[in-house]
Amino acid sequence: MTESLVDVALLAFGGPGSTQQIPDFLQRMTGRPANPETLKVVKARYELIGGASPLPDMTARQALALQARLIQELAFPIRVRHGFLYTEPTVAGCLAELDGHEVVALPLSPFSSRLTSDKYREALDAAGGEKIPLLEGWYASRGFVRAISRRAAAALDGCDVNEWAVLFTAHNVPLETIMEGDAYVEQLQQTIAQLVPALVPGDWRFAFQSKGRGGGQWMEPEADDVVRTLADEGWKKVLVVPVGFVSDNVETLYDLDIVLRRQIEGLDMEYRRSVAPNDSPIFIEALADVVIDYLARRPVEHQMHRPDGPHTHG
């Protein structure tokens, strides 16, 4: 195979490919074995969405599509492989497959946070990729915003948008994380500020979802509280737009499509949700633009440089 000039490590959190993989997934994610009660609860949730997370397979599809798009756009050899923080293939395993003159890492987390970006950075460094740049902070890129707005428009399917309240959601984080200066919420607000004019809904709100099972204070408002407020205000139709997720997973398929939907319909309101960008061509184009923009703007000393570290990991 022709040696590639640039290699891309496409990184995501991962997810269990079966209920049997849940204990290992939770232990990798939390750093400790899950107790039996937690395992029971999590297993039940995955069984309700088909017994596995669709995220690993979707990430593999995104990697293939991104590689094809980049080869088409750049017209030189380029390889894209995917790796996960908490399931196989690991970040180290991903880097071991990459041997281009230059390697970059693209996290499938558009919003920068110590809970995401720092984890990817730590995994890269631990795998010998200390010099590999992490292409983060593409939350407000035109392509990403367009991918979300297209999904929202498709969910409404020609309905009168004025009749719908749009509820933008993102994964909750501990309050202390934001109080210590994390940019996550600010970046979410910037993305939503671009989405609202594109959608022009009857009304819109933003809320957090999928709060962790640990204690402490978490960000507010939470989605269920906002839904009750919308019902009190007389809204009968709610479009949920999970702006914080680029791939459908247990947080969209269970937390939203089952739990939040049950609440919304219990309040006599209609529920719809926009599909995550997944491997839609417009989203793959947006990811390609992130890589191409970096390659065009990177410092000269970084061009065609490949760190030796990943060769040491198999």
134 and 165 within one domain = no
Q: How far is CA 83 from the centre of its chain?
A: 14
**Does residue 1 sit within a domain?**
no
pLDDT for the residue 306: 43
Residue 192 has pLDDT above 80, yes or no: yes
Phi, psi for 10 (deg, rounded to 5): -90, 115
**Does residue 101 sit within a domain?**
yes
Nearest by Cα to 78 from 7, 149, 179: 7
Rounded CA-CA distance 259/268 in Å is 15
pLDDT for the residue 302: 53
Q: Are strands 203-209 and 165-171 parallel, antiparallel or unpaired?
A: parallel
Which pTM does this prediction carry?
A: 0.93
257 and 287 within one domain = no
State the total domains in the chain: 2
Neighbour tally for 68: CB within 10 Å = 14
112 and 22 within one domain = yes
Residue 57 has pLDDT above 90, yes or no: yes
121 and 25 within one domain = yes
36 and 10 within one domain = yes
CA count, 13 A, side-chain hemisphere, 61: 14
Range of 153's domain?
A: 142-273
pLDDT for the residue 215: 80
pLDDT for the residue 311: 34
Phi, psi for 130 (deg, rounded to 5): -60, -30
293 and 267 within one domain = no
Rounded CA-CA distance 143/197 in Å is 15
97 and 48 within one domain = yes
Residue 189 has pLDDT above 50, yes or no: yes
**Does residue 103 sit within a domain?**
yes
- What residue type is 65 in one-letter code? A
Task: Give the length of the chain.
Answer: 314
Rounded CA-CA distance 133/136 in Å is 9
118 and 13 within one domain = yes
CATH code at position 89: 3.40.50.1400
Nearest by Cα to 187 from 137, 151, 226: 137
